[in-house]
Amino acid sequence: MKKPYIFITRTLPEEIIAPFRANWDIQMWDSEEKPVDRTILIQETAKADALITMLSDRIDEQLLEQGAQLKVIANLAVGFDNIDVKAAQKKGIIVTNTPDVLTETTADLTFGLLMATARRFIEASDHIRNGNWENWAPLLLAGLDIHHKTIGIVGMGRIGRAVAHRAQGFHMNVLYHNRSRDTEAESALGATYVSFEELLQQSDFVVCLAPFTEETAGMFNAKAFQTMKSSAMFINASRGANVVEEDLYEALVAGDIAGAGLDVFTKEPIANDHPLLTLKQVVALPHIGSASVETRQAMMHLCLENINLVLSGQQPKTEVK
Ligand code: DGY
């Protein structure tokens, strides 16, 4: 019998893939760093029973039309805004993602980014590397306190809760805004539900962890930044398109807010000459929220497990509904 054909849109470590080679015919795009060419992806989709895709791959209706025998798309991310899930479902193609396994790692990065922004880690490191450290000085690279401040989390999902848990350890007052109230987070984490406007008005750190949807697109705009305290900082570890980047830049330059920590951007990779990268009060990271070796390996294993379940006629562990 012909083995199922699996196409993976980046090169993943062979030791993770190897156990599946006996039962599947597996091909990988031959780069770990560069996204697969669209034309190759279309050709591969036409042959594939399953795809493992990255958040940088656009899986739209046109591509899905090619998937004559495609049964499952396993996205190596918790977010799935790169996939037209409705179009996939219409064709009977199952989409899976990688929740849970990346929650704690992404929360670590998010809280670390908040700390780096408030306490100016990158500027301070550059200060030494550029040979500028001549003396200790009372206000040299003084940042903002984090402990006992108010954090406002927009998007109280798994990662939001894990960030709130970290904030508790810093004795922070935790506010959150979400589509619906999360009574578990309220009782277990002492988080208080507030409107989006109240959260913006009261928080010292506004943290965006909401997935990208039609409702969240551009929700952090000029009005939102003007509502924030001028001493407050904005942290984004979900999706760049939740932010109007021109408005964020203007708000930082005008002093409407004090700083921003950004792991995600509207266009990734962000252009080197992007205005946001000229501001010293911006800490910018290349979308590394879940990027620990252990977590990325766990995400790969979960993708493979989901494919295995679907191809053997079972329910995948983490289907996108
Ligand atoms: C995801 O998995 O969606 C995250 O953005 C990765 O960091």
Specify if 144 maps to a domain: yes
Q: Are residues 168 and 38 in the same domain?
A: no
- Joined together, the tokens standing for residue 147 give 């402990």
CATH of the domain at 17: 3.40.50.720
Q: What is the pTM of this model?
A: 0.97
Q: Are residues 24 and 82 in the same domain?
A: yes
Specify if 318 maps to a domain: no
Whether the pLDDT of residue 39 is over 90: the answer is yes
Q: Are residues 151 and 93 in the same domain?
A: no
Q: Are residues 131 and 237 in the same domain?
A: yes
Rounded to whole angstroms, the Cα distance separating 48 from 4 reads 8
* Average predicted confidence (pLDDT) for the chain: 98
Specify if 319 maps to a domain: no
pLDDT > 90 in the chain, percent: 99
Q: Are residues 12 and 159 in the same domain?
A: no
Catalytic residue among 10, 161, 177, 287: 287
Specify if 316 maps to a domain: no
pLDDT tens digits, one per residue of 103-138: 999 999 999 999 999 999 999 999 999 999 999 999
Specify if 272 maps to a domain: yes
pLDDT tens digits, one per residue of 42-61: 999 999 999 999 999 999 99
Terminus-to-terminus CA distance in the chain, angstroms? Answer: 32
How remote is the CA of residue 59 from the centroid of ligand 1, in Å?
16
Residue minimizing CA distance to atom 4 of ligand 1? 77
Q: Are residues 66 and 189 in the same domain?
A: no
Q: Are residues 25 and 163 in the same domain?
A: no
Rounded to whole angstroms, the Cα distance separating 294 from 102 reads 9
Specify if 321 maps to a domain: no
pLDDT > 70 in the chain, percent: 100
Domain that holds residue 131: 103-284
Whether the pLDDT of residue 1 is over 90: the answer is no
Q: In testing the pocket of ligand 1, which one of 101, 106, 242 has its CB within 8 Å of the most ligand atoms?
A: 106
Q: How many structural domains compose the chain?
A: 2
Residues with CB under 6 A from ligand 1: 55, 77-79, 102, 106, 287, 289-290
Whether the pLDDT of residue 90 is over 90: the answer is yes
Q: SS3 for 197-246, per residue?
A: HHHHHHCCEEEECCCCCCCCCCCECHHHHHHCCCCCEEEECCCHHHECHH
How remote is the CA of residue 130 from the centroid of ligand 1, in Å?
33
Q: Are the CB atoms for 282 and 258 separated by under 8 Å?
A: no
Q: Are residues 180 and 205 in the same domain?
A: yes
